[in-house]
């Protein structure tokens, strides 16, 4: 007898092109996926997939079965949705650092929600108890593993009508008594302030805030300068010019931290997959637009 679960697993392998990837999105083990495919092949007396180094390739028989399996899966989902109780939510506590940025955070959460069905997401500070954390690389603990996802290059943001905005870069001496939008916590700003002290350059506070989004809005209105990441949305903001600071490499590496002993759980594996897909997307964009 053909089981609905086997058709679901077959569809996942066909879509993903890999048994391991299908196991992750179905939240089951690889042997379960393999057994289901073998059951279908035995029942139908056909070969559905050809294995290769990077995954599997569908055969002509799989191409014929796929649209029928998809229709059955879609109809089954509709029936369950119509007559059954609400599905059990999948709970995830996600710790997110403030300086990830609202746009990146929203896109990241959207990708996770698309990857995990019935997700019930709770956002917390990364220092609170959580399942996974989006944090700076140097804050990862010895009990955690880390996947780097984003790299932020910090530069000096100045109002477009300031004379410095016409330069290609600024040096530390030009920062002396320059009115600054002081954003904390920020490791890159701490590094800049330490360099300024070493060179006898005075750091002048103009405003104290906590979020990057507020900082660049204040810069655009001419209130002061700020140290900001060179995000595309900041570079495209009217009234702001981003400038590198001569002799300083102010870079932050941000990514996903998770308990090493829980690395292979279905929930963590699904979020890890989102991060890896994001890294591949960024690399492809760099190749297209070097």
Instruction: Name the pTM for this structure.
Output: 0.61
- Give the alpha-carbon dihedral of 119, 122, 124, 130, to 10 degrees: -60
Cα distances from 85 to residues 10, 79, 81, 82, 88, in angstroms, run: 26, 11, 8, 9, 9
Quick one: pLDDT at residue 1?
62
Q: What φ, ψ does residue 105 adopt, rounded to 5°?
A: -60, -45
Residue 89: DSSP 8-state: P
C-beta of residue 181 within 8 angstroms of C-beta of residue 210 = no
Helices (H), 45-178: 60-83, 102-115
- Taking only the tens of pLDDT, the chain with its 290 residues reads 667 888 889 999 998 999 988 888 888 888 889 999 999 999 999 999 999 888 899 999 999 999 988 888 777 766 666 665 556 778 889 999 888 888 888 888 888 888 888 888 899 999 998 999 999 999 999 999 999 988 899 999 999 999 999 999 999 999 998 999 998 888 899 999 999 999 999 999 999 988 888 888 899 999 999 999 988 888 888 899 999 999 998 999 999 999 998 888 888 888 888 888 877 665 544 333 33
Tokens of 64: 């014929």
Give the E-state strand segments of 40-195 in sequence order: 49-52, 55-58, 90-96, 119-124, 132-136, 144-159, 179-183
Distance CA 182, CA 92 (A): 33
Give the number of other Cβ atoms within 10 Å of residue 191's Cβ: 16
Burial of 50 (C-beta count, 10 Å sphere; 0-12/13-18/19+): exposed
């Amino acid at each position: 007898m053909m089981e609905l679960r086997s058709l679901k697993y077959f569809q996942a392998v066909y879509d993903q092109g890999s048994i391991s990837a299908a196991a992750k999105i179905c939240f089951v083990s690889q042997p379960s996926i393999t057994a289901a495919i073998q059951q279908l092949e035995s029942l139908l007396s056909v070969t559905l997939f050809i294995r290769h180094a990077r995954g599997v390739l569908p055969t002509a028989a799989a191409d014929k079965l796929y649209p029928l399996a998809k229709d059955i899966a879609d109809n089954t989902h509709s029936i369950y949705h119509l007559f059954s109780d609400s599905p059990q939510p999948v709970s995830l506590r996600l710790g997110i650092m403030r300086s990830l940025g609202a746009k990146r955070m929203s896109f990241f959460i959207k990708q996770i929600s698309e990857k995990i069905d019935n997700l019930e997401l709770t956002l917390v500070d990364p220092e609170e108890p959580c399942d996974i954390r989006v944090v700076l690389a140097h804050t990862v603990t010895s009990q955690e593993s880390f996947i780097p996802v984003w790299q932020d290059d910090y530069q000096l943001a100045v109002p477009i009508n300031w004379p410095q905005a016409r330069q290609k870069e600024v040096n530390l001496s030009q920062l002396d008594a320059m009115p600054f939008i002081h954003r904390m916590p920020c490791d890159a700003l701490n590094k800049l302030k330490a360099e300024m002290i070493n060179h006898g350059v005075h750091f002048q506070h103009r405003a104290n805030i906590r979020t990057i989004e507020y900082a660049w809005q204040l810069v655009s209105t001419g209130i002061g300068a700020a140290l900001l990441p060179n995000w595309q949305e900041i570079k495209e903001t009217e009234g702001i010019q981003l400038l590198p600071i001569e002799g300083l490499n102010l870079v932050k590496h941000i990514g996903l931290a998770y308990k090493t002993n829980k690395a292979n759980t279905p929930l963590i594996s699904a979020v890890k997959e989102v991060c890896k897909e994001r890294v591949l997307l960024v690399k492809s964009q760099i190749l297209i637009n070097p």
